Structure 1
Amino acid sequence: MSLEKVQSYFSEFGREEDIIVLNESSATVALAAQALGTKPEQIAKTLSFKRKNQDRVILLVTAGDAKIDNQKFKSIFQEKAFMLKPDEVDTRVGHPVGGVCPFAVNPEVDIYLDESLKRFDYVYPACGSGNSAIKLTVPELEEYTDFQTWIDVCKNW
């Protein structure tokens, strides 16, 4: 269902045929990199966080090799980073664990792109399922994602 929602979203841009549906799992950075024949750091992983005392969710799209820096996160969002529990993700975001992406998400989701992505010519975000992705340039990722802003909230990349 979620993959179909993302395919419908990309059909608005004539890009639904560019979604790669794999025969194997791409639900983790390592599996996605192997399945797509690319470097793990070029997988655009999408992490989901709770907003304290709010009904909103934060999605952070980062490079596959980047880790959340808790001090940077707290500095930007004025609260600690608390990831959604796996059983909350599909309901709150609109995509299941392993297929979370910044496309066709629920209205109460705020999307941010991390600076760790800017070093690549192209990246591979998921497309709503644990076996899908799309190859996008960073400007295309910006174009197709209804994001708030670029932020620097990661380390180790």
Structure 2
Amino acid sequence: MSLESVRAFFAAKAPDIEVIVTEASSATVALAAQAHGVEPDQIAKTICLRVGDTAMLVVAAGTARLDNRKFKDRFGGKARMLEAEEVVALTSHPVGGVCAFGLPTPLPVYCDVSLKAFDEVVPAAGATNAAVRLNPDRMAALVGAEWVDVCQAPAPAIQG
């Protein structure tokens, strides 16, 4: 089970981090933010992509959007989102619960700098109603992620 692989990951690598299972779904950024009482950008969404033959995970702030030019410049090709079946096959996690923890086989993981705006982020934890709370630098260290800048800059707040 996906949730169990995530629990085993944290038991082995970071026993101080609790996997939080909620009654409410956290399958989308909006639902996760509501379930965990945080801003949508504090949700660390994990996107499963492929460039050529290379599959990877990109973790970014909840409302951040990939910047196609930045991504292509960094990875040398256009990002292709994987279909739900491919995501489950590669990660063992369902869409809405995808995370870089407890993977059956290693995948390259990249954390977008959009996460650095927060002291604590809330990534999914292998199920559509499970998550963890941790510092983005610690998350990157736990999964061996490389920091990248591949998302669009946030839109400036409108002053009214």
Secondary structure of the corresponding residue to residue 58 of structure 1: strand
Name stretches of at least 5 consecutive residues in structure 2 with no aligned partner.
155-160
* Contact kept in structure 1, 2:45 and 2:61, CA below 8 Å: yes
Give the counterpart letter for 1:44 in structure 2: A
Sequence identity (%): 45
Q: Separation in 1 of the partners of 2:106 and 2:141?
A: 20
Q: Separation in 2 of the partners of 1:106 and 1:2?
A: 9
* Contact kept in structure 1, 2:33 and 2:39, CA below 8 Å: yes
Which residue, out of 109, 117, 123, partners 1:111? 109
Q: Separation in 2 of the partners of 1:39 and 1:153?
A: 21
Q: Does 1:14 align with 2:11?
A: no
Q: Separation in 1 of the partners of 2:8 and 2:23?
A: 21
Cα 1:57/1:15, change in 2 over 3 Å: farther
Offset at residue 156 of structure 1 (A): 4.0
- Corresponding position of 2:139: 141
TM-score (norm 2): 0.91
- Corresponding position of 2:157: none
Q: Does 1:34 align with 2:10?
A: no
Greater alpha carbon shift after TM alignment, 34-43 vs 97-106: 97-106
- Aligned pairs (5 A) from 1:1-157: 1-12=1-12, 13-15=14-16, 18-52=18-52, 54=53, 56-147=54-145, 149-157=146-154
Cα 1:65/1:138, change in 2 over 3 Å: same
Offset at residue 108 of structure 1 (A): 4.7
- Corresponding position of 2:158: none
Q: Separation in 1 of the partners of 2:79 and 2:45?
A: 16
Count residues with an aligned counterpart. Answer: 153
Q: Separation in 1 of the partners of 2:86 and 2:33?
A: 26
The Cα RMSD (Å) is 1.3
Give the counterpart letter for 2:27 in structure 1: A
* Contact kept in structure 2, 1:6 and 1:127, CA below 8 Å: yes
Moved over 2 A (4+): none
Give the counterpart letter for 1:137 in structure 2: N
